[in-house]
Amino acid sequence: MKTTKLNILPIPTFSHLGVNFTDRRIENAIYDNITLQSGSTDITKNAQCTLTAENGEHKSVLQYVRADNAVLIDTSVKVENGAVAVLVQIFDTTEPIVSKLNVDIAENAHFELVQLYIGGRDTVSEIKAELSGRHSGFVSDIAYKLDNNDKLDLNLIADHFGKNSMSKITVGGVMSENADKIFKGTINFKCSASGAKGTENEDVLLIGEKVRSRTVPVILCSEEDVEGSHGATAGRIDNAKIFYMRSRGFSDERIMQILAQAKISRVIEKINDPQTKHRVYDSLGWCDIYE
Amino acid sequence: MSEKTQIADIDRSLYDFRFEEDEQDRLSSGITPEIISEISHEKNDPDWMRKFRQHCLKVYNKMEMVKWGAPIDGLDINNIVTYIRPKSRMNTDWENVPESVKETFERLGIPKAERESLAGVGAQYDSELVYHNVRSEVARSGVVYTDLESAMHDERYAEIIKSHFMKLVPPTDHKFAALHGAVWSGGSFVYVPKNVNLEIPLQSYFRLNAKGAGQFEHTLIILEENSSLHFIEGCSAPKYYEAGLHAGCVELFVGKCAKLRYSTIENWSKNMYNLNTKRALVEDGGKIEWVSGSFGSHVSYLYPMSILNGAGASAEFTGITFAGEGQNLDTGAKIVHNAPNTSSYINTKSISKSGGISTFRSSVIINQNAVDSKSSVNCESLMLDKISRSDTIPAIDIKTDKCDVGHEAKIGRISDEAIFYLTSRGLSEEEAKAMIVRGFADNVSKELPLEYAVEMNNLISLEINSNVG
Amino acid sequence: MCDILKIENLCVCAENKELLHDININIARGETHVLMGHNGAGKSTLGCTIMGSPEYKITGGRIFFNGEDITNESADKRARRGIFLSFQNPVEIPGVTLSEFLRNALEQISGKRQKLWEFKKQLNTAMEVLDMDKSYADRELNVGFSGGEKKKAEILQLLMLKPKLAILDETDSGLDVDAVKTVSKGIEEYRKETGGTLLVITHNTKILESLTVDKTHILSNGRNAKNGGGELAFDVLENGFGEVFV
């Protein structure tokens, strides 16, 4: 059966790292066509979703992906002039899934993306945001909690075309046991994007000697008048922090728990719907902090 | 172009001069087993080297071209004459070096540099060593600094060369490593015995000087336990009009608690394809420090790699890349943490101007056994105009939780305020730009010996003003 | 009377260097002791070692708390016994608010669930003592705090956790006059409310003014150079160490 190249790194690098692309079998599938409306939508089958925020409109949409079978989710978002769209995507499944998100952000439009990956046996997720309009904005906050044999391949590309466009990508997560994650984040300043700004940050907490965390934060730049930066940190909790917390009576187990929660609750707190929030904390097994 | 710019006190043409070709025998273009045999015959290779060259050719023919990085379509490997020998044979006495060659070196300042502070010169004219002298002081300390070809025939070094040559960079590493193995010629061999600390830096200068010439020099440096060395490699080549290729190879073995600093200013002329492979293996407590400046060449692929193989080993990489008109410089560093308590620091700057493309590429791998390791990568890019390009593609691959890894990158341009400030104090805009860029490159220049730092700063000023002068 | 803290022939190493040698200090319950010495004499090392920092290895001697040997105990167990260290450089904990942190710490130490309402009330009272703006409760612990704010947050934790023995490691250093007063007020409040024992590491008299100092210990080059009464501390702070070592 033929495979499809997914999550392609815009400019390939050393092949031995295995980050240039990933191969997946994608069969011809039947999709549900869903027009996303404000509020929460559960997704359990292959779905082609569309979201349009028309001129000056403000829309806030939530997708809760709880798949029982292998699932393909293809979401297109159009944020028209002066509109604001907020999309929350929660991936709460153990089954393999492929998610694609294409976003077009017009003049003075603003798109906010909140993504949470709760485990996932084999998740391939691609986000392509085109900041096509002047003063367009893209803010994404992404968190993952991976353990057991969880696998996540995340490819985010922000293409800056518009003058004075702005992107801010924040990714954070906790990995333990045999979790394997690739995060590729690209900020691409095209030569029309004078005055554009883009920042990207990833901060991973690693617990356990068998985790594998690959990070490729890319900045491509063909415009002089831009400001771009990226940062990444990865590793365990530093000893000074452990000692400080121990000295306040925290057991090591509790320290890990609290700091793991701290990494992820930042994103959960962005979910406006209390019911979904509860559902997420339940799924994470952290009901105790939500009361 | 011979016009001088306001700031510059050296002229770019100094680096782009070329004399009449001076060679007696030039092998036909294209690479066949016969050519390889001819090279072996010329070099009087020992048996193992004859076999090794043929083996490399087979690997070369089988391997695919690299699939990432700057385009190298313009390079026709069969058109590059890989072996050019000047009339001169090995000289230990400056007086016997032919006049034209001498003049070339004179303009590069080699004998002067030697007189002043440098320990020895392994100067390579085209593919062969023409001048080689190690100051008696260096020899007295027990340090061996000689050309690799003749060292292979010296029974004192034959075994150690055989057991190290292309063991760190095997021919299967990539296509150009295989090519190098098949056609290599010239280069240095340095051996520093246990507990010897050589205070003065060793310097090698080599250059290409013939139309269509290839340069495949091999540098093999072995530091025994608790020794230290600073090796400076300087490259500069004149301009000519056919695609030129440099596919050198540097293998550095840093023993327990030994310390090696390897400094390079690469300034190939702007039609060169510089596909160079550099690698260091560092044992327990040892340290490798790379200082690297990439200026010239049409296309460069250069990622010095440090394999931290012993507990407590460390690597430091400081680099600058300046891509001007017609240049596509793909540079960076690779680190493999393969033992506990290892640490690495990468600190690079890149500058793009007049349509030049600079790409920073790195890979930091923390293996599962590299517990308590640390790595920090920092890169900054400066865009000097709208027609240039600057890409940053770092990769981090972590296989244990017991490590601390950090990465930071920034891209931007010279701020208008900074230029206004400097011009308000009487500097011209170009002077102001040059001054800011020199400051930007400070991380590298302060790691270089003074005369090199001055030369690099002059180069920067020239590059900045090349459209203006 | 049983000493709350008993340090017996303590030797401490870090990175193969001996930092403390043969230290002997006894502190009776309810007393206030001052620990002094030049920079690098080993004061912070001793404070951190009593708290159980993994950075320092105990190579000889023992530490007793309430008569029990705690030499090999981890810091969290010591905290639960009632030892507290006010850090010289408090660590930043991003993503965890001050109030969340404290409530969790209280639960860890007391082993009891903390009712949100009561906890908030207690926290507000303590913050008032320290003239801290209420908004600090919802800020990430120590993140973006100034030096003074960090020290206040340490004393806030002291007031909330109510330990039996508090070690204050240069809590007054780098603070302006008003901030020292506020911090002193917090320490006084702690003494008044719990009658707790204090080990104060300092270079200043200001913080000692409101306290009755029972004993003074002077460290020099990692050794117990001199022990004396409360007056020794004031003597040194006025006249320097010169006199003492003669």
Q: Shortest Cα distance from A259 to chain C (angstroms)? A: 8
Question: Of C87, C104, C161, which has the smallest distance from its Cβ to A244's Cβ?
Answer: C87
> How far, in Å, CA of B300 to CA of B76, rounded?
16
Judge contact between C167 and C51, C-beta under 8 A.
yes
Q: Tell me if chain B has a CB within 8 Å of the CB of A224.
A: yes
- Comparing CA positions, the residue from C176, C189, C168, C186 lying closest to residue C148 is C176
Whole-number pLDDT of residue B215 = 73
| pLDDT: which is higher, A194 or B425 | A194
Res. B94 pLDDT band, cuts 50 70 90: low
Find the residue in A nearest to C162 (Cα): A248
Q: Is B385 part of any domain?
A: no
Whole-number pLDDT of residue C244 = 63
> How far, in Å, CA of B341 to CA of B360, rounded?
27
> How far, in Å, CA of C128 to CA of A131, rounded?
48
Q: Is B433 part of any domain?
A: no
DSSP one-letter code for C89: S
Give the number of other Cβ atoms within 10 Å of residue B308's Cβ: 33
B219-258 per-position pLDDT tens digit: 999 999 999 999 988 654 443 434 478 888 999 999 999 9
A96-150 per-position pLDDT tens digit: 999 999 999 999 999 999 999 999 999 999 999 999 999 999 999 999 999 999 9
Whole-number pLDDT of residue B41 = 87
Res. A288 pLDDT band, cuts 50 70 90: low
Q: Which of A178, A222, A237, A259 to mutate to test the interface with B (most CBs of B within 10 A)?
A: A222
Q: Tell me if chain B has a CB within 8 Å of the CB of A14.
A: yes
Res. B133 pLDDT band, cuts 50 70 90: low
Hey, what are B165's tokens? 């040559």
Burial of A25 (0-12, 13-18, 19+ CB in 10 A): exposed
pLDDT above 70: residue B173: yes
Nearest-10 Cα torsion for C86, C88, C93, C96? 30
What percent of chain B shows pLDDT beyond 70? 74
Q: Which of B353, B390, B402, B403 to mutate to test the interface with A (most CBs of A within 10 A)?
A: B390
Which chain A residues are closer than 8 Å to B390 by Cβ? 221
Give the number of other Cβ atoms within 10 Å of residue B40's Cβ: 19
Q: Tell me if chain A has a CB within 8 Å of the CB of B454.
A: no
DSSP one-letter code for C207: G
Q: Across the strands, what pairs with A137? A: A110, A166
- Comparing CA positions, the residue from C244, C207, C210, C243 lying closest to residue C225 is C244
Which CATH architecture best describes the domain C3-245? 3-Layer(aba) Sandwich (3.40)
How many CB pairs (< 8 A) connect A and C?
74
Question: Of A13, A228, A231, which has the smallest distance from its Cβ to B407's Cβ?
Answer: A231
SS (H, E, C) chain A: CCEEEECCCCCCCCHHHCCCCEEEECCCCCCEEEECCCEEEEECCCEEEEEEECCCCEEEEEEEECCCCCEEEEEEEEECCCCEEEEEEEEECCCCEEEEEEEEECCCCEEEEEEEEECCCCEEEEEEEEECCCCCEEEEEEEEEECCCCEEEEEEEEEECCCCCEEEEEEEEEEECCCEEEEEEEEEECCCCCCCEEEEEEEEEEECCCCEEEEEEEEEECCCCCEEEEEEEEECCCHHHHHHHHHCCCCHHHHHHHHHHHHHHHHHCCCCCHHHHHHHHHHHCCHHHCC
Whole-number pLDDT of residue B106 = 58
* Element at C167 (helix H, strand E): strand C165-169
- Identity (one letter) of the amino acid at A184? K
Give the number of other Cβ atoms within 10 Å of residue A275's Cβ: 9
| CA-to-CA separations, A227 to A164, B434, C41, in angstroms, rounded | 10, 21, 47
Q: Shortest Cα distance from A10 to chain C (angstroms)? A: 33
| pLDDT: which is higher, B412 or B52 | B52
- Identity (one letter) of the amino acid at B318? T
Whole-number pLDDT of residue C92 = 87
Structural domain range at position B112: 19-302
Task: Give the mean model confidence (pLDDT) for residues B390-404.
Answer: 94
Which chain B residues are closer than 8 Å to A233 by Cβ? 404-407
Whole-number pLDDT of residue C245 = 62
Res. B109 pLDDT band, cuts 50 70 90: low
Task: Give the mean model confidence (pLDDT) for residues A243-267.
Answer: 91
Hey, what are B235's tokens? 């490259």
Whole-number pLDDT of residue B216 = 83
What percent of chain B shows pLDDT beyond 90? 42
Burial of B404 (0-12, 13-18, 19+ CB in 10 A): middle
Which chain B residues are closer than 8 Å to A200 by Cβ? none
Q: Is B346 part of any domain?
A: no
> How far, in Å, CA of B175 to CA of B96, rounded?
38
Question: Of B386, B389, B405, which has the smallest distance from its Cβ to A235's Cβ?
Answer: B405
A217-243 per-position pLDDT tens digit: 999 999 999 999 999 989 888 889 999
Which chain A residues are closer than 8 Å to C96 by Cβ? 258-259, 262
* Element at C245 (helix H, strand E): helix C242-245
Which chain A residues are closer than 8 Å to B385 by Cβ? 224
| pLDDT: which is higher, B127 or C62 | C62
Is A262 within 8 Å of C55 when comparing Cβ atoms?
A: no
Judge contact between B151 and B189, C-beta under 8 A.
yes
Which A residues 237-266 touch B at CB under 8 Å?
238
- Identity (one letter) of the amino acid at C156? L
pLDDT above 90: residue B416: no
> How far, in Å, CA of C169 to CA of C200, rounded?
7
Which chain C residues are closer than 8 Å to A265 by Cβ? 95
Which residue has tokens 């007054």?
C172
Q: Tell me if chain A has a CB within 8 Å of the CB of B381.
A: yes
The b-or-e profile of B239-261 (16+ CB within 10 A means b, else e) is bbeebbbbbbbbbbbbbbbbbbb
Question: Of A243, A262, A291, which has the smallest distance from its Cβ to C95's Cβ?
Answer: A262
Q: How many domains are contained in chain B?
A: 1
> How far, in Å, CA of B460 to CA of B451, rounded?
14
Q: Which residues contact B34 (CB under 8 A, 6 or more apart)?
A: none
Q: Do chains B and C touch (3 or more CB pairs under 8 A)?
A: no
Q: Which residues contact C153 (CB under 8 A, 6 or more apart)?
A: C90, C98, C132, C136, C141, C142, C145
Whole-number pLDDT of residue B90 = 40
**pLDDT per residue as tens, chain C (246 positions):** 579 999 999 999 998 899 999 999 999 999 999 999 988 899 999 999 999 988 899 999 999 999 999 999 989 899 999 999 999 998 888 888 899 889 888 988 888 888 888 999 999 999 999 999 999 999 988 999 999 999 999 999 999 999 999 999 999 888 888 899 999 999 999 999 999 999 999 888 888 888 889 999 999 999 988 899 988 888 888 888 876 665
Q: Tell me if chain A has a CB within 8 Å of the CB of B443.
A: no
Nearest-10 Cα torsion for C192, C196, C201, C205? 20
Q: Tell me if chain C has a CB within 8 Å of the CB of A247.
A: yes
Q: Tell me if chain B has a CB within 8 Å of the CB of A234.
A: yes
Give the number of other Cβ atoms within 10 Å of residue B166's Cβ: 21
> How far, in Å, CA of C145 to CA of C160, rounded?
19
Which chain A residues are closer than 8 Å to C74 by Cβ? 246, 252
Q: Which residues contact B159 (CB under 8 A, 6 or more apart)?
A: none
Task: Give the mean model confidence (pLDDT) for residues B446-457.
Answer: 74
3-state secondary structure of C224: strand
Q: Do chains A and C touch (3 or more CB pairs under 8 A)?
A: yes
Q: Is B365 part of any domain?
A: no
Q: Is B8 part of any domain?
A: no
> How far, in Å, CA of B170 to CA of B172, rounded?
5
Our measurement of the distance from residue B143's CA atom to the centroid of its chain's CA atoms, rounded to an integer in Å, reads: 22
Which residue has tokens 């949100």?
C116
Which A residues 19-38 touch B at CB under 8 Å?
19-20
Is B398 within 8 Å of A223 when comparing Cβ atoms?
A: no
Is B404 within 8 Å of A231 when comparing Cβ atoms?
A: no
SS (H, E, C) chain B: CCCCCCCCCCCHHHCCCCCCCCEEEECCCCCCHHHHHHHHHHHCCCHHHHHHHHHHHHHHHHCCCCCCCCCCCCCCHHHCECCEEECCCCCCCHHHCCHHHHHHHHHHCHHHHHHHCCCEEEEEECCEEEEEEECHHHHHCCCEEEEHHHHCCCCCCHHHHHHHCCCCCCCCCCHHHHHHHHHCCCCEEEEECCCCECCCCEEEEEECCCCCEEECCEEEEEECCCCEEEEEEEEECCCCCCCEEECCEEEEEECCCCEEEEEEEEECCCCEEEECEEEEEECCCCEEEEEEEECCCCEEEECCEEEECCCCCEEEEEEEEEECCCCEEEEEEEEEECCCCCEEEEEEEEEECCCCEEEEEEEEEECCCCCCEEEEEEEEEEECCCCCEEEEEEEEEECCCCEEEEEEEEEECCCHHHHHHHHHCCCCHHHHHHHHHHHHCHHHHCCCCHHHHHHHHHHHHHHHCCCCC
Q: Which residues of C make CB contacts under 8 Å with A?
A: 48, 51-55, 74-76, 78-80, 83-85, 87, 90-91, 93-96, 101, 104-105, 108-109, 116, 157, 161
Question: Of C53, C54, C105, which has the smallest distance from its Cβ to A248's Cβ?
Answer: C105
pLDDT above 90: residue B32: no
Find the residue in C nearest to A237 (Cα): C93
Task: Give the mean model confidence (pLDDT) for residues A246-256.
Answer: 92
How large is the angle between the packed helices A252-268 and A239-247, nearest 10 degrees? 110
Nearest-10 Cα torsion for B109, B112, B118, B120? 80
Q: Do chains A and B touch (3 or more CB pairs under 8 A)?
A: yes
Q: Tell me if chain A has a CB within 8 Å of the CB of B167.
A: no
> How far, in Å, CA of C62 to CA of B131, rounded?
69
Strands B249-254 and B277-282 come out as parallel
Our measurement of the distance from residue B229's CA atom to the centroid of its chain's CA atoms, rounded to an integer in Å, reads: 17
Is B393 within 8 Å of A218 when comparing Cβ atoms?
A: yes
